[in-house]
Structure 1
Amino acid sequence: MDLVDLRRWELALARGGEGLARRYFTPGERHAAQHLAGADRTFVEVLGHLFGVKESVVKAAGGLPATGRLADIHVGIPLEGDAEEPWHVRLGGPLGDWARAERLDVVGASTRLESGMALAWTAAQAAGPRS
């Protein structure tokens, strides 16, 4: 699990700008955040939720490998459909190697708390049988 202070996240992204967003998020994640932004949540808030899921993946994996990047963790936040369903998480780079070796499928999600925080989580389960 990970808690993200969405106000602090907004300040961090304001300081780091587009470069920070490109380092942490895939083009698909940035596109999804733009698509999901609206009256009830901003682009930056959606990115904050995605960041929380990525951080919870890092915790579950025991840390980010030396050559790993947060952009190696792709959070498949749905653009439509059931908001209650967990989001598929696809791992690349060294984390992807680890997940394949351990035969893990990863999911996660995040929700906004009244305190202005986001509560994000990740869970892994054994993948189906090898073929």
Structure 2
Amino acid sequence: MQIPNAARRIPEHLHSAGVDLVDLCRWERAVERCGDSLAQRYFTAEERRTAREWATDDRSAADVLGHLFGVKESVVKMAGGLPPGARLADISVGIPDDGWGRGPWTVRLDGPLAHRFEAERMEVIGDCVPLVDRMALAWAAVRTSDAAS
């Protein structure tokens, strides 16, 4: 997928957004090197389960985690950094039940990062699409809850 096509999936009426490029080969090497400790540090139990469920012959669980990691990094950039006491596992990314690539993914925030957006009634969404050469383009955006309907 080319970048202009990926950008068409970003919704209108945004408050702020962040993007990240993920080198999936590099990500998979990191997972191989660090094993479960990396996955447990950055991902919720639900995200790790989702990665196993979405793994196919063409897409490993580490590849799925790489896409989720890209969305998490996009959230951090969108928010201007992690507030004190926050961690990447406080950002939970959900792939829709109806399939990979079917629209924005839900992003649930916990901890200090959640407080920033709950007070302003904002919803965070994101997605990650494959590009060429085992690269992926991830994005996260925040919009007011009123714009979501």
Q: What is the TM-score when the length of structure 1 is the normalising length? A: 0.93
SS in 1 for 2:103: coil
Question: Does structure 2 conserve the Cα–Cα contact (< 8 Å) formed by 1:6 and 1:45?
Answer: yes
Q: Percent of counterpart pairs with the same letter?
A: 56
| Deviation digits for residues 31-82 of structure 1 (CA, Å, limit 9, x no counterpart) | 1110000012110000000000000000000001121010000001124347
Greater relative contact order, per chain length (Cα 8 Å cut-off, separation 6+): 2
| Deviation digits for residues 1-42 of structure 1 (CA, Å, limit 9, x no counterpart) | 100100110111112210110010001001111000001211
SS in 1 for 2:41: helix
* RMSD across aligned positions (CA): 1.5
Question: Does structure 2 conserve the Cα–Cα contact (< 8 Å) formed by 1:36 and 1:79?
Answer: no
Q: Check if 1:35 corresponds to 2:53.
A: yes
Question: Does structure 2 conserve the Cα–Cα contact (< 8 Å) formed by 1:35 and 1:79?
Answer: no
Match of 1:58 in 2: 76
Select the residue among 14, 17, 26 that pairs with 2:35: 17
Most deviating of 41-50 and 114-123 = 114-123
The aligned amino acid for 1:95 is L
Change (3 A) 1:109 1:34: same
Write the distance in 2 (CA, Å) between the matches of 1:85 and 1:70: 23
Match of 2:22 in 1: 4
Match of 1:109 in 2: 127
Write the distance in 2 (CA, Å) between the matches of 1:26 and 1:12: 18
Most deviating of 65-74 and 51-60 = 65-74
Write the distance in 1 (CA, Å) between the matches of 2:57 and 2:100: 19
Q: Check if 1:78 corresponds to 2:96.
A: yes
Write the distance in 1 (CA, Å) between the matches of 2:99 and 2:20: 24
Unaligned stretches of 5+ in structure 1? none
Question: Does structure 2 conserve the Cα–Cα contact (< 8 Å) formed by 1:67 and 1:94?
Answer: yes
Q: Which runs of 4+ in 1 moved over 4 A?
A: none
Select the residue among 51, 66, 80 that pairs with 1:48: 66
Question: Does structure 2 conserve the Cα–Cα contact (< 8 Å) formed by 1:111 and 1:118?
Answer: yes
